[in-house]
A and B are shown apart, each in its own frame.
Chain A
Amino acid sequence: MSKKILIVDDEPNIVISLEFLMKKEGFEVVVACDGEEALAKVAEFAPDLVLLDVMMPKKSGYEVCEALRADPAQAALKIVMLTAKGRDTEVAKGLAIGADVYMTKPFSTKELMLRVRETLGQA
C-alpha cells in the first residue's frame, strides 16, 4: 500500500512540480492550496506525510502545523515544512512547533525525496 502525501502550497507551479515528483516516486498525492483546505484534506484523506508551505493565505504553515500536532488522532503524521523563509529563527520555530523536517526553498529534488523517504522510514 502506497503512502499518501498531502501537498500544501499556494504557488501553483510549485504544486505542479511537487505533485509530479511525488507521483513519480509512487506516492498517492492530494493537493491543498491554503491552510484551511490543508486541515480539511488531512481529516479527509489521512495522509502519512504533509509537505507544508509556510506563507499561505487564510492559515499559515505554522498554524496548520500547530493544529495538527495538537490533534492526537494525527500523532503519526509526518510533517515536512517547505518554505522560502530561511532565517534561523524561522527554522527553529518550525522545528519547535513539531515539524519533522524543515527545508528551505529552492530545494534540491534529490534531497527532498531523500528526506521524505527517510521520514517515512523507507530509507
Chain B
Amino acid sequence: MLSGWFVVLLSVAYGGLLFAVARFGDARADAGRSIIGANVYALSLAVYCTSWTFFGSVGRATSGGLSFLTIYLGPTLMLLCVGVIVKMIRIAKAQRITSIADFIAARYGKSQLLAGLVTVIAVVGIVPYIALQLKAVAASLDVLFDRSGHAIQLWGVDSTLLVAAVLALFTILFGTRHLDATERHEGMVAAVAFESVVKLLAFVAVGVFVTWGIYDGFADLFRRAAAQPELLRLMQPDPSRAGAWAAMILLSALAIVFLPRQFQVMVVENVDESHLKRAVWLFPLYLLLINIFVLPVALGGLMHFAGQGANPDTFVLTLPLSQGAQALALLVFIGGLSAATGMVIVETIALSTMVCNDLAMPALLRSTWLQRQKRGDLSRLLIGIRRLAIVFILLLGYAYFKAAGEAYALVGIGLISFAAVAQFAPALFGGMYWKQGTRAGALAGLLAGFAVWLYTLLLPSFAKSGWIDSGFVEVGPFAIDWLRAQALFGLDGLDEISHCLWWSLLANLGAYLAVSLATVPDALEASQAERFVDVFRHAQRAPDVRLWRGNASLQELVELLERFLGPARTRQQLAAHARSRGRSDWRELAPDAEFVHFAEAELAAAIGSASARAMVSSVTREEDLGLEEVLDILDEASQVRAYSRELEAKQRALEAATGELRAANAQLRELDRMKDDFISTVTHELRTPLTSIRALSEMLHDDPRLELGERRRFLGIIVGEAERLTRLINQILDLARLESGRAEWTAVAVDVGAVVREAMAALEPLFREKGVRLSGEIAAGLPSVLADRDRLTQVVVNLLSNAVKFVPGGSGEVRVGVACSDGAVRVSVADNGPGLTADECVSVFEKFRQGGNTLTDKPQGTGLGLPISRQIVDYFGGKLWVESAPGAGATFIFTVPLREPDA
C-alpha cells in the first residue's frame, strides 16, 4: 500500500505547483505580457472534462458502450458554429457581461429578477455537480488506500474537506483579485490549462498501460472482448438508443456553452476573438485524445476484474494498482485531482460572481443598512461578498457530498446538471437572434423549463436516493398515471435524460415564444434587444446616447463609482474615459448621456448590469423615454442607417448615370458635329471637281469657236475630274460600308508576300512614269494569314500610291518590306518624301486630311485612302501606323496577325 504521507506530500506539491503556475500567469498579466495565447485558451476549455469524464466515462462505457462519446461529439459540433460564439463574445465585451446570468438579464432589460432566476437555476443545477467532484477525489483516495466510505482523515479532519478548503483558498486568491468581474483571471486560466494537460497525460498513460501493458494492443484487447457476448454488445452500434444518442449530442452541445464554467472560460475569459480559430479544432482534438482509450480501459477492466464486482468508475486506478504500477496509479490520482479541482475552481468563480451580483447585491441594495452607509466605500464589501460566496458554494458542495454519499442523486448528476443549464438555451439564443423576445417570455420559459426539469429529473433522482417518496415517479402524483414524473403524458420508453430534455425544452421554448409574442417589451428591453441582435453593427459606433435623456450630476456619479470600485480604480477609469473623449481632466466632462453610459458600464463590470442599472437610476433623474420613443429612435437609427446606405448607393448610381449620360451626350454632340463636318467636307470635296467640270463644260458649250487644242485640253480635264468624282464617291461609299460593318469580307489564307508583289507590279508604270525607284524586300517562306485578299491588296496599293504621290520625281525612292515578327506579318512602305510632323502622323489617318501641299497632284487623292486602309487593317486584327519625322521620309507600316483575331 501507498504511504499516506507520500500521497499527502504529492498532493501538496501538486497544489503548490498549481499556485505557482497561477501566480506566474497573474504576474505576467500584471506586467502586460499575457500568457493566454490561442493554445492556452483552447486547453482552458478542456475544463469541460471533469472527474466525471476522467473516472466516469469508463463507467459509462461498461454499460453503454460507445454512447459516452456523445458527450464530446456535441461540443465538437457546437464549436464549429464559431459565428454564434463570436457573437456571444462580442456582446459580452460590449456590455461588460460578467456571467451567463448577467448575459441573459442584460438582454432582457437588465432585469434583476431574471438574473436571480438564472442564478438560482445554475446553483441548484451545479452545486451537486461540484459535490460530485469532491466525491471523486474522496473515492480515488479510498482506492489508493484500499478503504471505503470516503472517510480518509488527515489530522482528524476529513481529507475531502481539506481539499475543498484548499480549493476555496485558491479560488479566493486567483478568482477575486479584481473587483471588476470582467477583468480576466489569467492566473486561474493558466492553472486550468495546465491541469488540462496533466489530466490528459494521466489518462493517456493509463490507456497505454492497459492496452499495451496488460493486453497486447488494441487488436488483442478487442479480439478477446469480442469473445464474450456481453462485452461484444458494447462494441456494436445500438439503434434502439438512437433517440438518446441524438438527445445527448444536443444536450452536450448546449452544455459546452451554458455551463457557467464554460461560459466563464469561453466568453468572459476570452482575451482575443481570434483564439477561437485554434480552439475550434484543438479543443475537439483534446476531447478525441482523452476518449480514445475509454472503451479499451472499460473492456480491459471488465475482463480483468470479471466476477469481482469492481467499481468500473475507478478502473483507471484499480487496473494499474492490480499490476503493482503504483507510480502510474499516483499519476492517475493526480490526473483525477486535476480534473476535479479545475472544474471546482472555475465553476465556483462563475457561480460566486452570479450569487454576489445577482442575489446578494440586489438584496443588499434594498436593505436599509446599506442606505445608511450611502457614503461609504463598498468595494471592500463587494470583494468580501464574493469571497464569502466562494466559501458558501464550496461548503454547499461539500455538504451535498456528505449528505448524498453513494446516493443516485450524486452519481447521475453530470447529465442532470447538463439538462438544468440547457434551460438557458431558448432565452439566450432567442435573445441573440430574435428581437421580439421579451423579459416576460424569458421568465416564463425559464420557469417552465426549470419546473419540468425539477419534476422529471431532479426530484426523481431524490426519490431514487430514497430521500422522498417515489410514488410520483412510479404511479404519478395522486395516482394520476399520465403525470408520472418520467413518463409524462404516457411518454415512456425513453431514458430519463432524453425524456426530461424534450419535455423541458418543449415547455421552455413554448412558454418563451408564446409569452414573448403576447407581451410588449419596455423601452430598455427594446434597446438592449437591438444592441444584442445587431451587435456586429453597433460595435462599430458609439453607444446610442440618444437612448438616455435626463439630468445627472457628475459629482454623484463619481461618488457612486467610488463606492463600488474604490477611489483608485475609479480615478484610473475616469482618466481613461476622459482621454478617450479628448479631455485631459475628467472634471471637465459633462454628466451627459455618454458619461452616464460610461458610469453604468463600469458599474456593470463590478456588480452586474441589473444592479448597475438600479444604482445609476438612483442618482440620476431620468426622463422616461417610453417604448414608443425608444422604438422610434432605434427604428429611426436603423432606418436612417438603411436609408442612408440606400441613398448613398442611389446617389452613386445617379452620379454614375449622370456621368455616363454626360459622356454619351458629349459623344453624341461630337458625333453630330463630326457628321455635320463630314457632310460639309464631303460636299466640299464633291463640289470641287464638279466646279471644274461645270465651268469647263459651260465654256465648251457656250463657245463653239474654241480652238481644238483648248477643247481637247478642257475635255481631258473634264474626264479626269469626272474620274476623280467617281473615285471619291466609291471611296465614300466604301468607307461608309466599312464603318457600319456592312462590308462583305472573305477570309482565306493569303500569302502577303504575293499580294505585295502583285500590287508593286500593278503600280510599277506609275512609278516609272514619275521616275521613282521602287524596291521590295520580301522575306521568303512567310506564313499565310487569314484575310480578305482584295482588301489587303487595296491597302498595299493605297500605301504605294500615297508614297509615290509625295516623293520627288526623279530622285524619289520607295522601299517595300515584308517580314514576320511577333506573330504577325509586317508590311512597311518607306519613302524619302518630305516626311510628317508628329501631329501629322496622327492626322493623316483622319478623313479628307491630305498630307502636305499636294497642289500638283491634288486630283489623285481623295483623303480617304488611309482611313479606309486603317479600317481594313483593324478588321484583320492588325495595326496601321506611320513612323516619320519632317525631312526624314515616312514609313507606313501595317501588321496582320497570323491567326484570325478572336473577335
Contact = CB atoms under 8 A, between A and B. Distances in A.
Interface of A: 10-14, 16-18, 20-21, 24, 33-34, 55, 57, 84-87, 104-110
B690 A106 contact: yes
A11 B684 contact: no
11 contacts: A10-B855, A13-B689, A13-B720, A13-B721, A16-B717, A55-B684, A84-B687, A85-B684, A86-B683, A105-B687, A105-B690
Given A12-B858, A13-B859, 9 more contacts: A55-B684, A84-B685, A84-B688, A104-B687, A106-B691, A106-B694, A107-B695, A109-B698, A110-B702
Contacts of B694: 106-109
A14 B858 contact: no
Contacts of A110: 698, 702
A18 B696 CA distance: 9
A20 B853 CA distance: 24
A57 B853 CA distance: 7
A10 B698 contact: no
Interface in B277-296: none
Contacts of B695: 14, 17-18, 21, 106-107, 109
Given A12-B858, A33-B855, A17 B683 contact: no
Contacts of B858: 10-12
Interface in B649-699: 680, 683-685, 687-696, 698-699
A14 B688 contact: yes
B703 interface: yes
The 7 closest A-B pairs by CB, nearest first: A84-B687, A13-B692, A17-B695, A105-B691, A106-B694, A106-B691, A84-B684
B236 interface: no
Nearest to A105: B691
Interface string B832-858: 000000000000000000000101101
A35 to B, nearest CB: 12
A106 B693 contact: yes
Given A85-B684, A108-B698, A17 B703 contact: no
Nearest to A10: B855
Contact of B699 (A10, A17, A57): A17
Contact of B717 (A13, A33, A34, A86): A13
Nearest to A90: B680
Nearest to B696: A17
Contacts of A34: 853
Nearest to A57: B853
A105 to B, nearest CB: 4
Nearest to A54: B684
Nearest to B718: A13
Nearest to A13: B692
A53 to B, nearest CB: 9
Interface in B442-464: none
Contacts of A16: 692, 696, 713, 717
Contacts of A106: 687, 690-691, 693-695
B855 A84 contact: no
A86 B699 contact: no
Contacts of A21: 695, 699
B718 to A, nearest CB: 9
A57 B713 CA distance: 26
Contacts of B721: 13
Nearest to A84: B687
B702 A109 contact: yes
A109 B693 CA distance: 11
B779 to A, nearest CB: 40
Interface in B598-614: none
A12 B858 CA distance: 8
A109 B691 CA distance: 10
Nearest to B852: A57
Contacts of A17: 691-692, 695-696, 699, 714, 717
A57 B858 CA distance: 12
Contacts of B853: 34, 57
A16 B713 CA distance: 10
Contacts of A105: 687-688, 690-691
A103 to B, nearest CB: 10
Contacts of A10: 855, 858
Contacts of A104: 687
A92 B668 CA distance: 27
Nearest to A18: B695
A13 B694 CA distance: 11
Contact of B692 (A14, A24, A33): A14
Contacts of B702: 109-110
B700 to A, nearest CB: 10
A112 to B, nearest CB: 8
A92 to B, nearest CB: 15
Nearest to B689: A13
A11 B692 contact: yes
Given A24-B703, A107-B694, A109-B699, A12 B856 contact: yes
Contacts of B688: 11, 14, 84, 105
The residue in B688, B694, B713, B856 that gathers the most chain A C-beta atoms within 10 A of its C-beta is B688
Contacts of B696: 13, 16-17
Contacts of A24: 699, 703
B691 A14 contact: yes
A21 B702 CA distance: 11
B698 A11 contact: no
B691 A107 contact: yes
B683 A12 contact: no
B859 A84 contact: no
A34 B853 CA distance: 10
B886 to A, nearest CB: 16
Contacts of A57: 853, 855
A13 B685 CA distance: 14
B539 to A, nearest CB: 67
B726 to A, nearest CB: 16
B615 to A, nearest CB: 86
Contacts of B685: 84
B144 to A, nearest CB: 116
B303 to A, nearest CB: 113
